[in-house]
């Protein structure tokens, strides 16, 4: 009985993991128009279509976030430091245009189960019907976006040496 219960618990954990959308980290500059459009697409569309989506935004103009951004560029095998750079699960995107929406959605859905994909499709349809009403009804989703600020201090740097 214990084996069956343990197996059931593990199977449930796998199922729940597959239901979740891939998270997004977007590296941006506040003065970049493509970054603005990418962030708007995420904040006005994707967080409402995918109820389990979490988004982290990282401003690359400050020195504190530069190391993380450079590591991401290397991981994504990008030669240019152009922004925006979006990491969606294991997939990287550099730049932004409206034509990228479906590719970003595919990356979000890569590990989602059929029920979660169906929910996203229903939410997308509702957004297409009346986006403002849907956003109002799901205003809590705005908390899905978190700005990451890495604080470097001289004391922390001195301790490393």
Q: What is the pTM of this model?
A: 0.80
Q: What is the pLDDT of residue 148?
A: 87
Residue 55 is given by DSSP the state E
Pairwise pLDDT comparison (31 vs 151), residue with the higher score: 31
Q: What are 57's two structure tokens?
A: 């935004």
pLDDT in tens, 119-147: 999 999 999 999 999 999 999 999 999 99
pLDDT in tens, 17-67: 345 778 999 999 999 999 999 999 999 999 999 999 999 999 999 889 999
How far, CA to CA in Å, does 101 sit from each of 18, 93, 116, 137, 140? Answer: 22, 11, 18, 23, 23
Nearest in space to 137 (alpha carbons), one of 151, 154, 123: 123
Helix-helix angle 114-137:101-109, to 10 degrees? 120
The CB-side HSE value for 157 (13 A sphere, CA atoms) comes to 6
DSSP 90-152: TEEEES--GGGHHHHHHHHHTT--HHHHHHHHHHHHHHHHHHHHHHHHTGGGGGGEEEE-PPP
Cα–Cα distance between 134 and 138 in angstroms, integer? Answer: 6
Q: What is the pLDDT of residue 145?
A: 94
Q: Is 62 helix (H, G, I), strand (E, B) or coil?
A: coil
Q: What is the pLDDT of residue 4?
A: 41
Domains observed in the chain? 19-146 (3.40.30.10)
pLDDT in tens, 76-130: 999 999 999 999 999 999 999 999 999 999 999 999 999 999 999 999 999 999 9
Close Cβ partners of 61 (under 8 Å, ≥ 6 residues apart): 29, 30, 31
């Amino acid at each position: 009985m214990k084996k069956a219960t343990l197996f059931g618990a593990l199977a449930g954990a796998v199922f729940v993991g597959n239901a979740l959308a891939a998270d997004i980290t977007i590296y941006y500059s506040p003065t970049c128009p493509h970054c603005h459009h990418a962030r708007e697409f995420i904040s006005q569309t994707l967080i409402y279509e995918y109820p389990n989506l979490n988004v982290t935004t990282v401003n690359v103009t400050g020195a504190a976030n530069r190391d993380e951004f450079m590591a991401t560029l290397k991981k994504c095998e990008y030669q240019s430091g152009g922004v925006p750079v979006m990491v969606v699960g294991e997939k990287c995107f550099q730049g932004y245009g409206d034509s990228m929406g479906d590719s970003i959605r595919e990356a979000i859905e890569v590990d989602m189960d059929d029920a979660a994909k169906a929910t996203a499709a229903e939410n997308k349809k509702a957004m297409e019907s009346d986006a403002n009403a849907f956003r109002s009804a799901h205003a809590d989703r705005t908390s899905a976006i978190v700005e990451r600020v890495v604080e470097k201090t001289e004391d922390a740097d001195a301790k490393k040496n």
